[in-house]
């Protein structure tokens, strides 16, 4: 009789422990994300303005992690991972995301024609009609006409813009095949 009682008591205690753990897990709030621009940083609170949501305040503290390891400044774009804690939005992680630079205005685009000297690792080298060598960065957004990279000695017309001293090719049109 005692053995049966001990087994039932052990089973009851294990059931209570598992029930308590399960309740704690299910009561945990799921995380949500919010992306916007920081409009104010105060002690314990960061205010972020979303594109559609308006200004929302998030509680920050010692449990908040920052990527990179610093608080964001006013005007920086952030991505916040948060949950509801004691009735307020508590930031678990604040990640500073790079603000993409605005695209150039149409009048800032330049054009050059010349012969391809080299094409390697997203770098196009062209010798223009004045025999100057010009380097262009190419990437996923560069349009090639026809849809292939040019070969050495092909004549091309490159439409590009200058950003931070780098010539960024937006379109490369092959004018003639290799001769």
Is residue 13 scored above 70 in pLDDT? yes
Confidence of residue 141 (pLDDT cuts 50, 70, 90): confident
CB 149 within 8 A of CB 177: no
Q: Hey, which bits of 98-153 come out as E strands? A: 110-120, 123-128, 133-137, 143-145
Mean pLDDT across the chain: 84
pLDDT given at position 1:
58
Is residue 79 scored above 90 in pLDDT? yes
What's the average model confidence in pLDDT over 171-178? 82
What's the average model confidence in pLDDT over 157-178? 86
pLDDT given at position 46:
94
pLDDT given at position 101:
66
> How far, CA to CA in Å, does 31 sit from each of 77, 82, 84, 132, 153?
19, 5, 8, 56, 56
Strand partners, 111: 159
Write the CATH number of the domain with boundaries 106-176: 2.40.50.320
pTM summary value: 0.44
DSSP 107: G
- Looking at the domain 32-97, which fold is it? OB fold (Dihydrolipoamide Acetyltransferase, E2P) (2.40.50)
Strand partners, 90: 59, 83
Written as six digits, the tokens of 161 are: 């813009």
> How do residues 25-47 score in pLDDT, each as one tens digit?
545 558 889 999 999 988 899 99
Q: How far apart are CA 57 and CA 49, in angstroms?
A: 9
Sequence ranges of the chain with CATH classification 2.40.50.320: 32-97, 106-176
Q: How far apart are CA 169 and CA 143, in angstroms?
A: 8
User: Cα–Cα–Cα angle for 78, 81, 84, nearest 5°?
Assistant: 130
């Amino acid at each position: 009789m005692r053995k049966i009682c001990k087994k039932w008591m052990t089973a009851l205690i294990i059931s209570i422990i598992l029930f308590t753990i399960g309740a704690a897990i299910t009561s945990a709030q799921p995380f949500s994300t919010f992306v916007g621009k920081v409009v104010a940083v105060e002690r314990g609170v960061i205010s972020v303005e979303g594109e559609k949501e308006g200004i929302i305040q998030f509680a920050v503290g010692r449990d908040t992690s920052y990527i990179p390891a610093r608080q964001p400044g006013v005007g920086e774009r952030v991505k916040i991972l948060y949950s509801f804690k004691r009735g307020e939005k508590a930031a678990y992680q604040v990640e500073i995301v790079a603000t993409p630079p605005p695209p150039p205005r149409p009048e800032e685009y330049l054009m050059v024609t010349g012969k391809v000297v080299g094409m390697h690792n997203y770098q196009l080298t062209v010798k223009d009609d004045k025999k100057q060598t010009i380097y262009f960065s190419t990437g996923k957004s560069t349009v090639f006409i026809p849809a292939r990279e040019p070969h050495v000695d092909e004549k091309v017309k490159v439409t590009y813009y200058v950003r931070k001293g780098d010539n960024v090719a937006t379109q490369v049109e092959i004018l003639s095949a290799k001769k």
